[in-house]
Structure 1
Amino acid sequence: MNEKHFDRIKNNRGFIAALDQSGGSTPKALAAYGVTEDAYDSEEEMFNLVHEMRTRIITSPAFNSDQIIGSILFEQTMDREIEGKYTGDYLSEKGIVPFLKVDKGLADQENGVQLMKDIHDLDDTLRRANERHIFGTKMRSVIHEPNEEGIKAVVDQQFKVAKQIIEADLVPIIEPEVDINSTDKEKSEQLLKDEILKHLEDLSNSQHVMLKLTIPTNANQYKELIDHPNVVRVVALSGGYPLDEANQKLKENDGLIASFSRALVSDLSVEQSDEVFNQQLQLAVDAIYDASVNKN
């Protein structure tokens, strides 16, 4: 483990930028950026275009280490280069800690939740992540209803995979997202917190995880998780909230920082000049940073 990166993620002020849309969500991400599906004829061309988009974001002066402490990458982004360097190395030289999305998407809903699909090549992915100087990983499940059996299954699966990632000397970001339109979001969050605490108590002193959670209905619901000695950092996903609303909710939670994706890049367009593009990105970075470090 890179101790310098560990210290930066644990102790520095700022937020984590999520640039990890994968195969299924890439067309939507490109469309939001102004690149429609008729602009490419193959998956290869699509991924070339999304890498151009991510390169433009990462190389922007607005994407700076004074406000952004880490960034989550898609596997293809990790394996591609920016200005002659692998993306993780480029970020590290910029002072931003690289993470990698490792899940393969979601299984069908059962018992009110969606587990992760089997990550059949995880050992190989973790090996390559180490070769690319990646610090940690991220993996997502989704909770739709306050179903005790389903939520237990989500957390059991997440921590089982997390321990495999820890064995590879990487820090896992565990992301059991609670749908903001959940039938009873507040109850789902309480059940989730209880299950996570049970698993945290089973970790040894040397085993560390991060948590990426939906901003809770009740402010400071996750303070016990934030303060837990085995938790490096708790970060929040925007969950579909507009940027202003996500930032306001985030400000109500002490110690919780952002790891936004759509909310970070929602005002960016392929048609913008570099000057306008950088200005729009800086506005979003400033707002998310402020919500992450200045609490109500």
Structure 2
Amino acid sequence: MQQSQFEKMKNGEGFIAALDQSGGSTPKALALYGIEEDSYNGKDEMFDLVHEMRTRIITSPAFDSEYIIGAILFEQTMDREIEGMYTADYLAEKKGIVPFLKVDKGLAEESNGVQMMKPITDLDETLKRANERHIFGTKMRSVIKEANPEGIKAVVAQQFEIGKQIVAAGLVPIIEPEVDINSKEKEKCEELLKAEILDQLNKLGDDEHVMLKVTIPTVANTYKELIEHPNVVRVVALSGGYAVDEANEKLKENNGLIASFSRALSQDLNANQTDEEFNNALGKAVKSIYEASIS
């Protein structure tokens, strides 16, 4: 782990760009970008197109370390190149942006009001390659839909169990137990989640550091204790399906919470835009998310 990158993640002003749509969500991401499923054949063409999209975002002058401190990548993006450099190296060396890798394999079926992660069978190999590719940290996502104490406890326990394996490999895990923004029990879910996370954090050793990625809470500053916890490098927020303006307004209410947006970052981008139109649209989104993250 590079100490300079650790310091940037701990204290830097800005937000984390989530560019980690995977196989299941890639067709939707491409469709939002103006590329419909009937315009490509098979997964190879699909992943080529999504890499072109991500390359256009990352190489844009609007994708600037003045506003963006980190970026989360999909595994294929990590293994591909931008302008002759592996993506993580391009981010770190050309852009001054800290690279993360999505490592989960998707969600299991809902049980006890939650969706836990599917088994990550090749995690050791993935972490080895992540270190070779100069990745700083990882991200893995679960989803909470109901205020079921047993389900939420299981989600957090699974996240921290795998998180410790990632820490042992020299990387910083982003633990992401997303609370569904449409949950009728969202506030109660967040109260239970906070308690379970605090319990797990308090069991970590002094040298075990994690990051957290959470849904913007219903009650502002719900996660203040997590943000201030000595084992937490940073707490970031997902947009969760909110449009960028709504996500930004909600984020501003939470001191110390910064964005890690995906759809809200790229919602106004289109494959048919000129470079000027594309860069202007991306720049507008980047600056608005940055302002919400430092408020």
TM-score of the pair, normalised by structure 1: 0.99
Distance 1:231 1:167 in 2: 16
Deviation at 1:38, TM superposition (A): 1.2
Q: Deviations over 1:2-49 (max 9, x none)?
A: 111000010110000000000000000000000011111110000000
Q: CA RMSD in A?
A: 0.4
1:222-261 to structure 2, matched below 5 A, reads 222-261=223-262
Q: In the alignment, which residue of structure 2 is the partner of 1:214?
A: 215
Structure 2 counterpart SS, 1:290: helix
1:1-296 to structure 2, matched below 5 A, reads 1-93=1-93, 94-294=95-295
Q: For the Cα contact (< 8 Å) 1:100–1:136, is it kept in 2? A: yes
Distance 2:282 2:14 in 1: 15
Corresponding letter in the other structure for 1:263 = A
Structure 1 counterpart SS, 2:147: coil
Distance 2:221 2:279 in 1: 33
Corresponding letter in the other structure for 1:63 = F
Corresponding letter in the other structure for 2:275 = D
Structure 1 counterpart SS, 2:141: strand
Q: Deviations over 1:221-242 (max 9, x none)?
A: 0000000000000000000011
Corresponding letter in the other structure for 1:52 = E
Distance 1:27 1:42 in 2: 11
Deviation at 1:115, TM superposition (A): 0.1
Q: Deviations over 1:159-215 (max 9, x none)?
A: 000000000000000000000011210000000000000000000110000000000
Structure 2 counterpart SS, 1:129: helix
Distance 1:278 1:234 in 2: 28
Distance 2:258 2:181 in 1: 18
Q: For the Cα contact (< 8 Å) 1:146–1:183, is it kept in 2? A: no
Distance 2:68 2:183 in 1: 30
Distance 1:213 1:273 in 2: 34
The sequence identity of aligned pairs, in percent, is 73
Deviation at 1:110, TM superposition (A): 0.1
Gaps of 5+ in 1: none
Corresponding letter in the other structure for 2:110 = Q
Distance 1:183 1:281 in 2: 33
Distance 2:49 2:39 in 1: 9
Distance 2:243 2:132 in 1: 37
Q: Deviations over 1:118-177 (max 9, x none)?
A: 000000000000000000000000000000000000000000000000000000000000
Corresponding letter in the other structure for 2:289 = I
Structure 1 counterpart SS, 2:118: coil
Distance 2:31 2:186 in 1: 30
Corresponding letter in the other structure for 2:173 = P
TM-score of the pair, normalised by structure 2: 0.99
Distance 1:86 1:267 in 2: 27
Distance 1:241 1:152 in 2: 26
Distance 2:182 2:88 in 1: 34
Q: Which runs of 4+ in 1 moved over 6 A?
A: none
Corresponding letter in the other structure for 1:277 = F
Corresponding letter in the other structure for 2:247 = A
